[in-house]
């Protein structure tokens, strides 16, 4: 049974606040849209009255901080068992939504509400970081109701506990007291987190598609270490100080387009990998049309070579250099950043974040290059 509770006003003596029939059920969508926190779970609302591929309409569709989707369905005038069947049907639809379809749903919702931000921006504003590469890896189904019958309670409990179907019922209680209205909530299944969320459909469709050429590079411009001034002047990206840092930078292929980001600063350049990765002491760069050993160039930064301060036996802590021909690059003080941009701890990784690619490219004037890629 769901947890039931009362509400008392305490002045001279306790006075129980009357529970009323829910006059707000028709307004509950508006209340949740205004503040999804009413549900007790931090959510970004993706859409309201979202049409499915089967001719039905989902009342509310949300996303949590892990990229999981939440179907929220009001009971309205349907019998509780009918709405449970409906929400299960919605689950069969939502599990197949691709990354692109999710973004289209949010885009249509944002336009209807007159919002300018894209999904990445809205996600960052809601949760404080960029969305995961794989969206919809899980989903959950919630019926919003003021009451259900005993049979429906058994059905939901059976599905959730016996078969790990991610379905639950969120009850709302409505109170009135001296002209004021109050709304309280409680779950049918005591611990909503105990119900294992359903995994979405497997496959790469859950991630944004990759162009095959775009890579993200994190350039750690550090006092006493590598310098972005050097990279901008001579054309390279680099990473080192440990195998974990250098392994991904060495994976950059010839011809890759790199979007270069200085942590906690912003994006500073877009260029094309023009040479194979080499350790600093062996690296050769093309400077003013001539091939020059990097170690012979006047450098602002310092770059670790073999054997320098290696604390672990056999660990490669050298600085690895990857030559890059900059198409568009700027000094650190002109770095570009917007809420929702992709950032990652890896020194290099495939860049799928279309919002970041589009906005950085537009800012640096490489839109035509992207379209031709």
pLDDT value of position 246 = 81
Closest by CA position to 326, among listed 258, 262, 276: 258
Instruction: List all residues 6 or more positions away from 255 whose beta carbon is below 8 Å from its beta carbon.
Output: 213, 272, 273
pLDDT in tens, 58-72: 999 999 988 999 999
Instruction: List all residues 6 or more positions away from 350 whose beta carbon is below 8 Å from its beta carbon.
Output: 210, 214, 215, 216
Q: How many whole angstroms separate alpha carbon 355 and alpha carbon 353?
A: 6
Do residues 97 and 69 make contact, with C-beta atoms less than 8 angstroms apart? yes
- Asked if the model's pLDDT at residue 219 lies above 90, the reply is yes
**Residue 141 Cα distances to 58, 98, 105, 114, 149, angstroms:** 11, 18, 18, 28, 18
Q: Two tokens at 359?
A: 């906005």
Domains and CATH numbers, the chain: 17-206 (3.40.1350.10), 214-368 (3.10.590)
Q: Two tokens at 201?
A: 């459909």
β-strands 138-145, 198-199: how paired?
antiparallel
Widest Cα–Cα separation across the chain = 90
Do residues 272 and 372 make contact, with C-beta atoms less than 8 angstroms apart? no
- Report CA dihedral (99, 102, 108, 111) to the nearest 10 degrees: -80
Do residues 74 and 29 make contact, with C-beta atoms less than 8 angstroms apart? yes
Q: How many whole angstroms separate alpha carbon 174 and alpha carbon 20?
A: 6
Closest by CA position to 145, among listed 165, 167, 166, 169: 169
Q: How many whole angstroms separate alpha carbon 265 and alpha carbon 271?
A: 18
pLDDT in tens, 193-215: 444 556 665 554 577 888 889 99
Tell me the three state secondary structure of residue 227.
Answer: coil
pLDDT in tens, 74-126: 987 677 778 899 999 999 999 999 999 999 999 999 999 998 789 999 999 88
β-strands 284-287, 290-293: how paired?
antiparallel
Q: How many whole angstroms separate alpha carbon 309 and alpha carbon 312?
A: 9
* Packed helices 354-364 and 119-127: angle between N→C axes, nearest 10 degrees: 110
Instruction: List all residues 6 or more positions away from 233 whose beta carbon is below 8 Å from its beta carbon.
Output: none
pLDDT in tens, 151-189: 888 899 899 887 889 999 988 888 888 888 888 888 888
Q: Which ranges constitute the DSSP H helices of the chain? A: 28-34, 80-94, 99-112, 119-127, 150-157, 163, 228-234, 243-249, 354-364, 367-371
Residue owning tokens 């942590």? 263
Q: Is this structure's pTM higher than 0.85?
A: no
Closest by CA position to 74, among listed 42, 11, 34, 26: 26
Q: Report the pLDDT averaged over residues 262-281.
A: 95
Cβ burial, residue 28 (10 Å; 0-12/13-18/19+)? buried
pLDDT in tens, 345-365: 889 999 999 999 999 999 999
- Asked if the model's pLDDT at residue 343 lies above 80, the reply is yes
pLDDT band per the 50, 70, 90 thresholds, residue 25: low
Do residues 33 and 26 make contact, with C-beta atoms less than 8 angstroms apart? no
């Amino acid at each position: 049974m769901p947890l039931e509770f009362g509400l008392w006003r305490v002045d001279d003596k306790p006075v129980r606040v009357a529970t009323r029939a829910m006059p707000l059920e028709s307004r509950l969508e508006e209340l949740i849209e205004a503040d999804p926190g009413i549900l007790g779970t931090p959510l970004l609302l993706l859409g309201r009255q979202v049409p499915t591929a089967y001719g039905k309409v989902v009342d509310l569709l949300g996303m949590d901080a892990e990229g999981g989707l939440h179907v929220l369905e009001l009971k309205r005038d349907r019998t509780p068992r009918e709405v449970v069947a409906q929400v299960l049907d919605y689950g069969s639809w939502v599990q197949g939504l691709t990354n692109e379809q999710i973004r289209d749903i949010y885009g249509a919702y944002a336009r209807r509400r007159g919002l300018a931000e894209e999904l990445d921006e809205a996600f960052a504003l809601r949760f404080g970081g960029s969305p995961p590469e794989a969206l919809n890896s899980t989903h959950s189904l919630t019926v919003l109701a003021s009451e259900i019958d005993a049979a429906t309670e058994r059905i939901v409990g059976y599905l959730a506990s016996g078969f790990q179907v991610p379905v639950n019922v969120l009850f709302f209680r409505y109170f009135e007291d001296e002209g004021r209205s109050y709304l309280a909530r409680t779950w049918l299944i005591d611990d909503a987190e105990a119900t294992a969320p359903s995994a979405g459909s497997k496959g790469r469709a859950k991630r944004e598609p990759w162009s095959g050429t775009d890579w993200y590079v994190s350039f750690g411009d550090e006092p006493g270490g590598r310098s972005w001034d050097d990279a901008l002047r001579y054309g390279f990206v680099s990473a080192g100080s440990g195998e974990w840092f250098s392994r991904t930078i060495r994976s950059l292929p010839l011809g890759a387009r790199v979007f270069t980001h200085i942590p906690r600063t912003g994006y500073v350049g877009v260029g094309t990998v023009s040479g194979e990765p080499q350790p600093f002491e062996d690296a050769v760069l093309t400077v003013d049309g001539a091939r020059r050993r990097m170690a012979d160039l006047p450098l602002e930064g310092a770059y670790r070579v073999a054997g320098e301060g290696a604390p672990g036996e056999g660990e490669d802590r050298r600085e690895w250099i990857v030559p890059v021909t900059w198409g568009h690059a700027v000094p650190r003080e002109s770095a570009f950043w917007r809420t929702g941009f992709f950032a990652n701890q890896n020194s290099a990784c495939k860049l799928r974040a279309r919002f970041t690619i589009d906005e950085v490219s537009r800012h640096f004037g490489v839109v035509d290059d992207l379209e031709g890629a």
